[in-house]
Amino acid sequence: MVDRLCEATLARLPAGVARPGYDRSALRPGIVHLGVGAFHRAHQAVYTDAVLAAGDGRWGITAASLRSPDTRDALAPQDGLYALNIRGEADQLAVIGSIGRVLAAPDDPAALLDALCAPTVAIVSLTVTEKAYCRDPASGALDEAHPDILHDLSHPQAPRSALGWLAAAIARRRAEGLPAFTVLCCDNLPANGRTLHRLLARFAQLRSPGLGAFVEHEVACPDTMVDRIVPATTDEDRTRVAAALGLRDAWPVIAEPFTQWVVADRFPAGRPAWEDVGVTLVADVAPFEAMKLRMLNASHSALAYLGCLAGVETVAEAMGDPALAGFAGRVMEDAAPTLTVQPGMDVTGYKQALLARFRNPALRHRTAQIAMDGSQKLPQRVLGTMRDRLALGLPVDAHALVVAGWMRYVTGVDEHGKSMDVQDPAAPDLAAVVQAAGPVPDRLAPALLDMRPIFGALGQDPRVRTAVTAALARLYTLGTRQAVQA
């Protein structure tokens, strides 16, 4: 049996593997991260690892999963260490040391609350996925009927949601006279910091008006744009990484070479010198965020739904199909007129770079992984562009086809008659609509467009109803590959 990666075995790593060159036992916890999935470990934790390596030990990370104990169970026996395997033309391996402690909230809620209330903590960052913010996707308002919100309002000391945890910690720090931490949303939400600030202030207000006002005025939530493609780790990855490390890592993370983090520089309680390690600190993230969500994530979702329907398993494979690749490029081009281009932003270059990233043959990024939670993703990726294009008097056919792809996808049957597992917080509602309408474009498209929490007023626009219904009809009659070229 191969030994496990951990502090005691670090010295045995082969020479080509980068590793923490700093004293991890001397780190102070300056950041608590909620949602310790692969993305955090391949992105923010890597930037912070570089800050620690540069000698500022104030920014160790305590990371927590809010639901599953899996990451804690994988990383705790490894002293929080894990390998980052960057896959592109060359394969690179680095062991990342910034995460000192890993907690699983349901098993030890008191430990998480204590960690959040440590006096050294200045930042609480989050990657909990879009759905975990308990918001109405179309309006961005707090879903006050969400079961987790109802639960957390009646159990403020034993919350389940990220908002519940943040509010519990903010309330306790305030009572103890500790400064408020900065809350850093690292999920692909529109205006993610401002959105989180609004949701958190509302949730806190429902707990008590005083806490609501405190969040409103005293808690900073800077916007961020995060970017790195991080496919879910497979057993094949584990085997390859173990062979290269000479040690077993229960949960390495896999990523592309590209990485970007744009952060609004508003950290009243202080922050790591991330600008020294490649992070772009700006006054306004919005233009970067819109370009990323509307170009990268929109075309990703397009490839995901259309790819799933056509039986294409990965993004790279979809990019090998000229019809699908061409369509992804078109979705990006159609977003361009809706973007506010800043000096230094090169939309055409960005598009070319994205297409090359999507083609990376070393990444097995599954279309089914990206297809998840579409009801939460479509508004900021696709619907905003449609709204803006309509306002500019431009056609919306390409984006209507993405929406139609999602609609056929949520029927749970691909174009070869194979069933697909639709994972979405709205899955029961979607299934009910699909069941009532049947796979009939004239009925299915309008019925799904009537789902206001997803489509809002846009779903009622006759131009949208016509374009989406026609696109869905094309998908059913022509099939994906022809429909994207029609």
Binding range to ligand CS2, per CB under 6 A, among 191-199, 271-279, 292-300, 318-326: 292-300
> Least separation, in Å, of the C-beta of 223 and ligand CS2?
15
Binding range to ligand CS2, per CB under 6 A, among 14-22, 46-54, 223-231, 414-422: 223-231
Binding of ligand CS2 by 40 (CB under 6 A) = no
3-state secondary structure of 98: coil
> Least separation, in Å, of the C-beta of 131 and ligand CS2?
12
| Token pair 């440590």 in the structure block, residue | 118
> Least separation, in Å, of the C-beta of 40 and ligand CS2?
12
> Least separation, in Å, of the C-beta of 255 and ligand CS2?
10
Q: Choose between 228 and 271: whose C-beta lies nearer to ligand CS2.
A: 228
Strand arrangement of the beta sheet that strand 29-34 belongs to = 99-104, 60-65, 29-34, 123-126, 182-185
* Mode of pairing for the β-strands spanning 224-227 and 99-104: unpaired
Q: Choose between 52 and 325: whose C-beta lies nearer to ligand CS2.
A: 325
- CB neighbourhood size of 110 (10 A): 9
Q: Choose between 248 and 377: whose C-beta lies nearer to ligand CS2.
A: 377
Spell out, one character per residue from 300 to 339, where the chain touches ligand CS2: x when CB under 6 A holds, - when not. Answer: x---------------------------------------
Q: Choose between 370 and 484: whose C-beta lies nearer to ligand CS2.
A: 370
Binding of ligand CS2 by 297 (CB under 6 A) = yes
Instruction: Pick one of 143, 152, 227, 289: the residue that binds ligand CS2 (CB under 6 A).
Output: 227
Near ligand CS2 in 434-463, by CB under 6 A: none
Helices 441-449 and 397-409, interaxial angle, to 10°?
Answer: 100
> Least separation, in Å, of the C-beta of 429 and ligand CS2?
20
Take residue 16 and report the two structure tokens written for it. 């080509």
Binding range to ligand CS2, per CB under 6 A, among 7-15, 159-167, 222-230, 413-421: 222-230
Binding of ligand CS2 by 228 (CB under 6 A) = yes
Contact in structure between 469 and 446 (CB atoms under 8 Å): yes
Take residue 375 and report the two structure tokens written for it. 């009801």
* Integer Cα distance of 167 and 349 in angstroms: 42
Bridge partner list, 366:
314
With b for 16 or more beta-carbon neighbours within 10 A and e for fewer, the 296-318 pattern comes to bbbbbbbbbbbbbbbebebbbbb
The distance between the two most distant Cα atoms of the chain, rounded to a whole number of Å, is 65
Q: Using CB positions, name the residue nearest to ligand CS2.
A: 300
Spell out, one character per residue from 187 to 216, where the chain touches ligand CS2: x when CB under 6 A holds, - when not. Answer: -x----------------------------
- CB neighbourhood size of 428 (10 A): 8
Instruction: Pick one of 27, 83, 254, 370: the residue that binds ligand CS2 (CB under 6 A).
Output: 370
Binding range to ligand CS2, per CB under 6 A, among 30-38, 106-114, 221-229, 305-313: 221-229
> Least separation, in Å, of the C-beta of 298 and ligand CS2?
9
Instruction: Pick one of 229, 253, 437, 470: the residue that binds ligand CS2 (CB under 6 A).
Output: 229
What's the N-to-C CA distance of the chain in angstroms?
Answer: 56
- CB neighbourhood size of 378 (10 A): 23
Helices 209-218 and 162-175, interaxial angle, to 10°?
Answer: 90
Contact in structure between 319 and 328 (CB atoms under 8 Å): yes
Q: Which residues contribute to the site for ligand CS2 (CB under 6 A)? A: 188, 227-229, 296-297, 300, 369-370, 377
